[in-house]
């Protein structure tokens, strides 16, 4: 199976593991010449708040989620690290529940691999808070690489 497109799903908490995400992605993408699509998913409320805090004056309907995602932590740093490693990088924003939005976008770009980060959580924590990475792994249209940050515990 050829790997032409890799989706890296990130959110603000991934700022602490941006190096690990970049390394895990670049070690596959760079030698294969794969395109990396960095995805940041927002709920509708988060999107509105981020759009306003980033200084976009246009109405929500007129602002491209890709533009908001490109400026949202940790996307700029991840993009820079991947480009420095020689990867071709695109940024996409998705509005909706994170897990399904990432899976839908991965299907839309015909992803061959998805890279997600996660933190160590107890079974009770997963039950109470849910897990976007688990949702992606369970619904993904392709293999998923999970990059765990053992330093963060909730």
pLDDT per residue over 7-64, tens digit each?
A: 999 988 888 999 999 999 999 999 999 999 999 988 878 777 776 776 666 555 567 8
Q: What's the CATH number for 5-153?
A: 3.40.50.620
Predicted TM-score of the model (pTM): 0.86
CB 90, CB 123: distance < 8 Å: no
Query: Domain limits of the chain?
Result: 5-153
Task: Return d(Cα 9, Cα 99) in angstroms, integer.
Answer: 9
């Amino acid at each position: 199976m050829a790997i032409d497109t890799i989706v890296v799903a990130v959110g603000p908490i991934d700022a602490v593991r941006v190096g690990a995400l970049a390394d895990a992605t670049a070690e596959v993408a760079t030698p294969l010449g794969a395109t990396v699509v960095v995805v940041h998913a927002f709920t509708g409320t988060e999107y509105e708040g981020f759009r306003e805090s980033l200084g976009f004056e246009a109405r929500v309907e007129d602002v491209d989620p890709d533009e908001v995602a490109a400026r949202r932590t940790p996307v700029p740093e991840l993009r820079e690290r991947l480009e420095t490693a020689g990867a071709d990088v695109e940024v996409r924003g998705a509005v909706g529940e994170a897990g399904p939005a990432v899976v839908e976008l991965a299907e839309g770009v015909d992803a061959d691999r998805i890279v997600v980060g996660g933190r160590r959580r107890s079974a009770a924590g997963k039950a109470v808070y849910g897990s976007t990475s688990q949702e992606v792994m369970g619904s993904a249209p392709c293999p998923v690489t999970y990059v765990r940050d053992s330093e963060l515990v909730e």
